[in-house]
Amino acid sequence: MRRPEVVERLYLDFDGFFASVMQQVYPALRGRPVGVVPFAGTDRTVVIACSKEAKRAGCSNVMNIADALAKCPELVLAPQEPDLYRRAHNALLSEISAVIPIDAIKSIDEITCVLDIRQRHDPERLGQKIKQRINRYIGPYITCSIGFAANRQLAKIAGKQNKPNGITIWHPHMMPEPLYPILFEDIPGIGGRMEKRLYRHGIANMQQLMALSPKQMRKIWRNVTGERLWYALHGYDIQAPESQRGMFGHGRVLPPDSRTLPRAKEIARLLLIKAGRRLRREGFYASSFWLSLAIRDGSWSDHLGLPIVNDDKAILAALDTLWRRAEGELSARQVIYRVHVTLGDLSCADHRQMDMLLNDDLARRKWEAITRAMDSLNSKYSQTVVSLGMWNPPEGGNVGGKISYTRIPSADDFW
């Protein structure tokens, strides 16, 4: 396995991305603490994302609105605009690509790049060039922090050390000392449970972790992930295998007037249709469906097996089945705060195997053809012009196109 002797990777992380995009677009928000919320007028959900100014005042992402306002009474609550973030993401990628090719898009606000031979000799200059281009062609209110190191993992950790708007360079000859002061929680691949497991093994800090061998790390993690992390932290050029798509899902915090069972079901229908469109667009079938409801003082969830389907009729029938279960188990006056729908147990469209015991081949093909025709019409007009049942998005719109740290929405998500 190769161990680079110079900096080869760049990891770029935008600072308070969603809030900073709002500040760039809306002058009235500039220089003020901003908290992005699901919809206008809400005061009972969470601040999805907050600006640099809000973070300095003690606010954090996914903080209860009441707690955020207690920390920062001047906090400006701005309704989310997911399509704006999508367009900003694409514009920023275009400007960065003019400086250096993008190797991988890790999330809507994080990317990684591979440095060429010339760039490896002066990473500081490269980082400044990227920042200057963003400032000139996008605007000064969207900033980024950049980490440089021998591999992607170390570059990502480095980029977190000098936020916001910083540049951190970890040359291989400097390592591993820069890692010693870092907390376990700041290392990708070490979650809360793993941190407790490390403590049980007598590993209380990064210096002790770095002193382990690859085999010891594998034993503690109980799989090869620990060994991969050892090589990454020690500067080897190692890449984790690409993750496989496991599900398609959408969730939504409900506006106050949609928190009854009937209204929540209507929003669940729209979210499920959106998930079905993504399922078909990426060439998959699903064989399970999950429904989750956040209710007062708890949650309700259930799942259902599906006969390897991707058409709207089949998945909406599954929703009807689970919703009847929910109605039977929950009070008619139950307050529903959030709904989440998930299509899982995926199989590729070109590997689909029909159920021998389910004689629905002709009906299924008919509904698949109808669904494809609807998708084609909606794609032609770039909006939902035809759907099974009423199409009545809730307050705030953006059904299926909400803020996501892990998925970059496409234009189709906003039809």
Q: What is the CATH classification number for the domain harbouring 206?
A: 1.10.150.20
Residue that finishes a domain, picked among 190, 210, 240 = 240
The pLDDT assigned to 381 comes to 87
Residue that finishes a domain, picked among 173, 190, 224 = 173
Same domain for 169 and 301: no
Can you give the pLDDT of all 415 residues of the chain as single tens digits? 799 999 999 999 999 999 999 999 999 999 999 999 988 877 778 899 999 999 999 999 989 999 999 999 999 999 989 889 999 999 999 999 999 999 999 999 999 999 999 999 999 999 999 999 999 999 999 999 999 999 999 999 999 999 999 999 999 999 999 999 999 999 998 999 999 999 999 999 999 999 999 999 999 999 999 999 999 999 999 876 666 778 899 888 888 888 999 999 999 999 999 999 999 999 999 999 999 999 988 899 999 999 889 999 999 999 999 999 999 999 988 999 899 999 999 988 776 665 555 656 677 788 989 999 999 998 888 888 889 888 887 765 566 556 666 667 777 777 7
3-state helix/strand/coil string of 95-146: HHHCCCCCCEEEECCEEEEECCHHHHCCHHHHHHHHHHHHHHHCCCCCCEEE
| Three-state secondary structure call for residue 317 | helix
Same domain for 288 and 202: no
Number of domains in the chain: 3
Residue 323 domain flag:
yes
Residue 211 domain flag:
yes
Same domain for 263 and 139: no
Same domain for 16 and 137: yes
Same domain for 371 and 262: yes
C-alpha to C-alpha distance for 340 and 325, rounded to whole angstroms: 16
The pLDDT assigned to 339 comes to 94
Same domain for 381 and 236: no
The pLDDT assigned to 397 comes to 58
Instruction: Note whether 51 and 58 are within 8 A (CB).
Output: no
**Alpha-helical regions (H) of 203-359:** 206-210, 214-221, 224-233, 261-281, 312-329
Same domain for 155 and 91: yes
Same domain for 382 and 285: yes
Residue that finishes a domain, picked among 211, 240, 269 = 240
The pLDDT assigned to 68 comes to 95
From 145, 153, 202, select the one nearest 182 (Cα to Cα): 153
Range of the domain at 67: 7-173
Residue 334, domain CATH: 3.30.1490.100
Residue 1 domain flag:
no
Residue 99 domain flag:
yes
Same domain for 230 and 315: no
The pLDDT assigned to 391 comes to 85
Same domain for 197 and 167: no
pTM of the model: 0.82
DSSP 3-state percent helix, strand, coil across the chain (nearest 5): 45, 20, 35
Q: Which residue in the block uniquely carries the two structure tokens 């499920």?
A: 272
The pLDDT assigned to 399 comes to 64
Residue 316 domain flag:
yes
Instruction: Note whether 271 and 339 are within 8 A (CB).
Output: yes
The pLDDT assigned to 352 comes to 60
Overall residue count recorded for the chain in this entry:
415
Same domain for 49 and 29: yes
The pLDDT assigned to 257 comes to 83
